[in-house]
């Protein structure tokens, strides 16, 4: 078959963003290229035209995100997983491509959670600034604050938070070959107790499963209210304090919490949860050599991956001496 334009290599200058290319990661049928503040997606002609119809099928480069390798969520989730699957010897049973696809889902859901949480907090602060002093006519408050679109923003946030945990369960499945089909971390915890010896992964899930369950239920009772529902309350008046209270949410019967503070805390929790799950699953699935978890010090600001898995040289040295 004669050479076709689609069979030639590709060279392109990426103008958007700052500095050089820091890393590249294959995920599914695309290649992601990272600068510190940008991410680009590259599709090959075979990805664009898998049926080989067009001999001139192009390469496609897409600027997909203003979040690059320097973003903490990106680095601690997807780039952490990419570093482990690239550099650590894992068991043959581990489905590395599936690990990356699931972690990409966690990353994208988390970035959207972070955006929505920031929007909620910024709008709330603007409302508080505007209504810092309430207008009164006698004993009537004539300018009480309202958070327009609060329910829609809170619902969208909870949707992406649950999706992050859904993808996190798929990360576990990709490492261990299980099929939990959802964020059922109580079942995943019990599977670990039955199938893994005492491990950091089992202890981690035991400690953090209740928080993950709460996030999932906030979304479930929002979407499918019944005897219980996720109650979302706009700014309201506190009679005992004679002051305005910020918007809250809670599952029926639970103590209400600030939506703005909780949403920011959930982003932190989900980032920590995803990062730890990747690392602790990987350390259970290493092959041929003993590995240990090492904290990267100092963390590089241009790509703040906090941990790496390294061969335990102390154990290897001891084996040699024996």
Residues 91-114: tens digit of each pLDDT: 999 999 999 999 999 999 999 999
pLDDT in tens, 271-297: 999 999 999 999 999 998 889 999 999
Looking at the fold, whether 275 and 244 belong to one and the same domain comes out as yes
Indicate if the pLDDT at residue 60 is higher than 80.
yes
Looking at the fold, whether 1 and 132 belong to one and the same domain comes out as no
Looking at the fold, whether 51 and 158 belong to one and the same domain comes out as no
Question: CB-based burial of residue 136 (10 Å sphere; 0-12 exposed, 13-18 middle, 19+ buried)?
Answer: exposed
Task: Give residue 2's pLDDT band: very low, low, confident or very high (50, 70, 90).
Answer: low
Looking at the fold, whether 86 and 60 belong to one and the same domain comes out as no
Looking at the fold, whether 10 and 157 belong to one and the same domain comes out as no
pLDDT of residue 322: 46
Under DSSP, is residue 141 helix (H, G, I), strand (E, B) or coil? strand
Question: CB-based burial of residue 270 (10 Å sphere; 0-12 exposed, 13-18 middle, 19+ buried)?
Answer: buried
Looking at the fold, whether 32 and 99 belong to one and the same domain comes out as no
Question: CB-based burial of residue 297 (10 Å sphere; 0-12 exposed, 13-18 middle, 19+ buried)?
Answer: exposed
**Nearest-angstrom CA–CA distance, 254 and 251:** 6
Indicate if the pLDDT at residue 220 is higher than 90.
yes
Residue 257's domain comprises 72-321
**Nearest-angstrom CA–CA distance, 153 and 123:** 11
- How confident is the prediction for the chain on average, in pLDDT? 92
Looking at the fold, whether 37 and 186 belong to one and the same domain comes out as no
What H or E segment, with its residue span, contains residue 25?
strand 23-27
**Nearest-angstrom CA–CA distance, 318 and 59:** 51
pLDDT in tens, 4-31: 878 887 788 898 999 999 999 999 999 9
**Number of domain units in the chain:** 2
* Boundary of a domain, candidates 47, 69, 91: 69
Indicate if the pLDDT at residue 302 is higher than 50.
yes
- The closest alpha carbon to 275, from 184, 215, 213, 204, belongs to 204
Looking at the fold, whether 3 and 134 belong to one and the same domain comes out as no
* Boundary of a domain, candidates 18, 39, 69: 69
pLDDT of residue 320: 46
- Both structure tokens of 128: 């508080």
pLDDT of residue 318: 58
**Nearest-angstrom CA–CA distance, 81 and 274:** 10
Looking at the fold, whether 20 and 45 belong to one and the same domain comes out as yes
Looking at the fold, whether 304 and 197 belong to one and the same domain comes out as yes
pLDDT in tens, 154-202: 999 999 999 999 999 999 999 999 999 899 999 999 999 999 877 899 9
Contacts of residue 136, defined as CB under 8 A and 6 or more positions apart, other chains included, come to 142
pLDDT in tens, 104-147: 999 999 999 999 999 999 999 999 999 887 777 788 888 899 99
* Boundary of a domain, candidates 14, 38, 69: 69
Whole-model pTM?
Answer: 0.92
pLDDT of residue 183: 95
Whether the bond between 298 and the residue before it is cis, its omega within 30 degrees of 0, is yes
**Nearest-angstrom CA–CA distance, 44 and 49:** 8
The residue among 224 and 288 whose pLDDT is bigger is: 224
Looking at the fold, whether 128 and 48 belong to one and the same domain comes out as no
Is the distance from CB of 31 to CB of 42 less than 8 angstroms?
yes
Under DSSP, is residue 220 helix (H, G, I), strand (E, B) or coil? helix
* β partners of residue 231: 250
Indicate if the pLDDT at residue 316 is higher than 80.
no
Looking at the fold, whether 61 and 132 belong to one and the same domain comes out as no
DSSP string for 263-312: HHHHHHHHHHHHHHHHHHHHHHSB-SS-EEEEE-SSPPTTS---EEEEE-
pLDDT in tens, 238-273: 888 888 899 999 999 999 999 999 999 999 999 999
């Amino acid at each position: 078959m004669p050479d076709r334009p689609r069979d030639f290599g590709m060279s392109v200058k990426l103008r958007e963003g700052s500095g050089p290319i820091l890393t590249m990661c294959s995920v599914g049928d695309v290649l992601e290229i990272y600068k510190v503040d940008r991410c680009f997606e590259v599709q090959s002609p075979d990805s664009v035209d898998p049926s080989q119809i067009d001999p001139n099928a192009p390469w496609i480069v897409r600027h997909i995100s203003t979040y690059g390798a320097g973003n903490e969520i990106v680095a601690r989730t997807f780039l952490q997983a990419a570093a482990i699957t690239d550099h650590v010897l894992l068991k043959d049973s581990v489905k590395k491509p599936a690990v990356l696809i699931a972690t990409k889902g966690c990353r994208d859901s988390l970035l959207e959670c972070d955006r929505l949480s920031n929007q909620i907090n910024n709008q709330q602060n603007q409302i508080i600034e505007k209504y810092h002093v309430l207008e009164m006519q006698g004993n009537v408050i004539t300018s009480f604050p309202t958070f327009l679109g609060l329910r829609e923003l809170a619902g969208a946030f909870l949707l992406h938070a649950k999706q992050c945990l859904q993808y996190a369960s798929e990360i576990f499945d990709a490492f261990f070959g299980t099929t939990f089909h959802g964020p059922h971390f109580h079942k995943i915890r019990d599977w670990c107790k039955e199938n893994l010896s005492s491990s950091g992964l089992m202890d981690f899930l035991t400690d953090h499963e209740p928080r993950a369950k709460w996030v999932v239920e906030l979304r479930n009772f929002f979407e499918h209210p019944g005897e219980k529902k996720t109650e979302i309350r706009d700014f309201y008046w506190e009679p005992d304090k004679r002051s305005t209270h910020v918007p809250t949410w809670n599952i029926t019967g639970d103590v209400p919490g600030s939506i703005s503070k909780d949403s920011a805390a959930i982003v932190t929790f989900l980032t920590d949860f995803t990062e730890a799950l990747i690392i602790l699953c990987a350390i259970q699935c290493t092959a041929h050599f003993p590995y240990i978890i090492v904290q990267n010090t100092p963390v590089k600001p241009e790509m703040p991956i906090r941990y790496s898995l390294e061969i335990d040289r102390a154990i290897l040295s001891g084996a040699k001496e024996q």
